[in-house]
């Protein structure tokens, strides 16, 4: 079968679930027996998402091959249960960088290199490459941002050019918002009509419009959209707000989205169905008991609002593990800085069933997190430290158990006397060159697990691999001291002898991992470490 391409664009405003819609269509096509992959094209000039502050952009998702991507890639992986790679993520910066490199290498053979067609052509080449290398029947391409903004125009142009060449292989989906202003009390279609018009101006006619709103779209409104947006009423898909994003594939399936796509592309449904997913949703919607998990971090305060996007995969991993253990998650956000001096606040931590300290960068909030870890360690509260969370657990242990009073990380204090956490020699030269983008220890690395440890009990395997994103490591010079005082090094990278997992004895669950297990948790297959952590939290 020739590859088919489905472009997903967004109308009216961002944040209405374009990524989840793309991930859901991906799952639906898979459930009809097709091999599908998805990619995200972000309009910003950053070459990848790695150099952005999470408050600015949300979580940075990491693929096995070390790509630092937008969080939508995480949704694609969670919905499709498949691992993606760097091919699945593109930005304006990446496209321009490669065009400029080619120009420098004379690959355009003396031609004048222009924004059009060279930038869209490079985009098209990369879309095709992603599809070919994944050996996919379908490539879904989500174009970041909203139609009508200046930044993503060249990607719409690439989509238009692909359609022009192969009209039978390319489909357009517009995910648009339908507001219901409280003063009017009626669902309005005009913003969506305008979004459609903007696409038309770019030479694109949507084949399907997914209408996002707080309520379902009625027939009257479907007719209206049909008339003004040149599509059949049947091709307007009603997508009202739902309790969980994981219900969206079922909703789109009920609206026959998969069948419509296949029909338009003249394809037949092969066997297979969504029954496993359906069972999972049924179970998830009937949870009665609760487990209360606190996350101590610093990337969720923006003005008067709490934005939890920065920790998206951690949240999802908690959900997957809890649901699988028949509990509904209750996640509480705790700001690290509060625990720096407030003794009373620290004592109040006992109300939680389990505590997670996720990844992070820089000094802010660090001392508060160390106080939280100390309390968890001493009071038998299940604790899971992720990346920075693990590094801080080692620092806390060094300070308070090994009595190395000024134990620290050279990330916080460049010339500290006891850099329990330090940079590797190769990282030192990278930092000297100020070559920050894409140079952390990124992607999947092997780890050997020590038998008879909590980690082994969770993984039930001796060899694992997990995804990394950090520059600093536990300093092997202190390894002996730490082990002598009881820190268990339960996971080590066999190739570089780096400490990957630490834990302590006589504690229900106290585990710190240098990697990010959250990236590999999926709804139908929760991550074993999260499962074990949640299990102990439930027991508490």
Catalytic residues: 387, 516, 518
Tell me if 134 sits within 8 A of 87, measured CB to CB: yes
CB of 520 to ligand GLN, least distance (A): 15
Tell me the H-state helices in 337-478: 343-347, 366-378, 388-400, 425-432, 454-459
Closer of 39 and 388 to ligand GLN (Cβ): 388
Sign of CA dihedral 13, 14, 18, 20: negative
CA-to-CA dists, residue 387 to 51, 339, 424, 520, angstroms = 17, 20, 16, 15
Q: 92 and 344 in contact (C-beta within 8 Å)?
A: no
Taking the complex as a whole, the smallest distance from the CB of residue 362 to ligand GLN amounts, in Å, to 7
In angstroms, what is the C-alpha Rg of the chain? 25
Q: How far apart are CA 337 and CA 8, in angstroms?
A: 40
Q: How many other β-carbons are positioned within 10 Å of the β-carbon of residue 476?
A: 13
For ligand GLN, the closer of residues 163 and 470 by Cβ is: 470
Question: Pseudo-torsion of CA 513, 515, 520, 521, nearest 10°?
Answer: 30
Q: Which residues bind ligand GLN (CB under 6 A)?
A: 359-361, 387-388, 411, 469-472
Q: Closest distance between ligand GLN and the C-beta of residue 33, in Å?
A: 38
Minimum Å gap between C-beta 375 and ligand GLN is 20
Q: Which is nearer to ligand GLN, 459 or 519 (CB)?
A: 519
Of 7 and 519, CB closest to ligand GLN: 519
Structure-token pair, residue 462: 């001796």
Minimum Å distance from CB 473 to ligand GLN? 7
Q: CB nearer to ligand GLN: give 249 or 360.
A: 360
Q: Which residue is nearest to ligand GLN (CB)?
A: 359
As given in the structure block, the two tokens for residue 52 are 């952005």
Residue 112 CB partners (closer than 8 Å, separation 6+): none
**Pseudo-torsion of CA 121, 127, 132, 135, nearest 10°?**
-160
Minimum CB distance to ligand GLN, residue 55 (Å): 15
Kindly tell me which of 226 and 410 has the beta carbon lying closer to ligand GLN.
410
- Tell me how far apart the alpha carbons of residues 227 and 195 are, in angstroms, rounded to a whole number: 14
């Amino acid at each position: 079968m020739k590859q088919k391409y489905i472009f997903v664009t967004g109308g009216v405003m961002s944040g209405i679930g374009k990524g989840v819609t793309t991930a859901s269509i991906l799952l639906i096509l898979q459930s009809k027996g097709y091999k599908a992959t998805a990619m995200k094209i972000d309009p910003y000039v950053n070459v990848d998402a790695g150099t952005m502050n999470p408050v600015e952009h949300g979580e940075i998702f990491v693929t096995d091959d070390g790509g630092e991507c937008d969080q939508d890639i995480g949704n694609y992986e969670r919905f499709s249960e498949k691992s993606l790679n760097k091919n699945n993520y593109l930005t304006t910066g990446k496209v321009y960088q490669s065009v400029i490199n080619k120009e420098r290498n004379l690959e355009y053979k003396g031609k004048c290199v222009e924004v059009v067609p060279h930038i869209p052509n490079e985009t098209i080449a990369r879309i095709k490459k992603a599809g070919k290398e994944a050996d996919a029947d379908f490539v879904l391409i989500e174009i970041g941002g909203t139609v009508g903004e200046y930044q993503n125009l060249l990607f719409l142009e690439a989509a238009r050019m692909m359609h022009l060449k192969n009209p039978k292989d390319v489909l357009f989906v517009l995910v648009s918002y339908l507001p219901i202003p409280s003063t009017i009390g009626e669902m309005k279609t005009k913003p969506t009509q305008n979004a459609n018009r903007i696409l038309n101006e770019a030479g694109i006619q949507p084949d399907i419009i997914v209408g996002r709103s707080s309520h379902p779209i009625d027939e009257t409104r479907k007719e209206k959209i049909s008339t003004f947006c040149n599509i059949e009423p049947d091709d307007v898909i009603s997508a009202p707000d739902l309790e969980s994003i994981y219900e969206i594939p079922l909703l789109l399936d009920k609206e026959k989205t998969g069948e419509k796509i296949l029909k338009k592309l003249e394809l037949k449904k092969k066997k297979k169905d969504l029954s496993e997913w359906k069972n999972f949703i049924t179970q998830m919607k009937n949870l009665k008991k609760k487990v209360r998990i606190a996350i101590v971090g610093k990337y969720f305060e923006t003005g008067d609002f709490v934005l939890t996007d920065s920790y998206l995969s951690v949240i999802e991993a908690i959900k997957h593990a809890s649901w699988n253990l028949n509990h509904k998650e209750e996640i509480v956000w705790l700001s690290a800085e509060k625990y720096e001096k407030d003794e009373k606040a620290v004592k109040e931590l006992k109300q939680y069933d389990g505590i997670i300290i996720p990844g992070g960068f820089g000094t802010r909030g660090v001392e508060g997190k160390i106080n939280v870890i100390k309390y968890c360690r001493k009071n038998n509260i299940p604790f899971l430290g992720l990346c920075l969370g693990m590094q801080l657990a080692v620092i806390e242990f060094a300070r308070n158990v090994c009595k190395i009073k000024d134990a620290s990380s050279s990330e916080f204090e460049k010339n500290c006397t006891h850099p329990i956490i330090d940079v590797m020699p190769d990282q030192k030269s990278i930092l000297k060159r100020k070559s920050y983008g894409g140079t952390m220890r990124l992607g999947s690395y092997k780890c050997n697990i020590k038998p008879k440890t909590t980690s082994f009990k969770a993984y039930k395997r001796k060899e694992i691999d997990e995804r990394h994103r950090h520059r600093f490591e536990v300093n092997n010079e202190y390894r002996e001291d730490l082990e002598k005082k009881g820190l268990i090094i339960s996971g080590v990278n066999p190739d570089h002898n780096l400490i990957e997992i630490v834990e302590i004895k006589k504690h229900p669950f106290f585990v710190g991992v240098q990697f990010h297990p959250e990236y590999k948790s999926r709804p139908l297959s929760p991550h074993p470490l999260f499962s074990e952590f949640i299990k102990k939290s439930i027991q508490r």
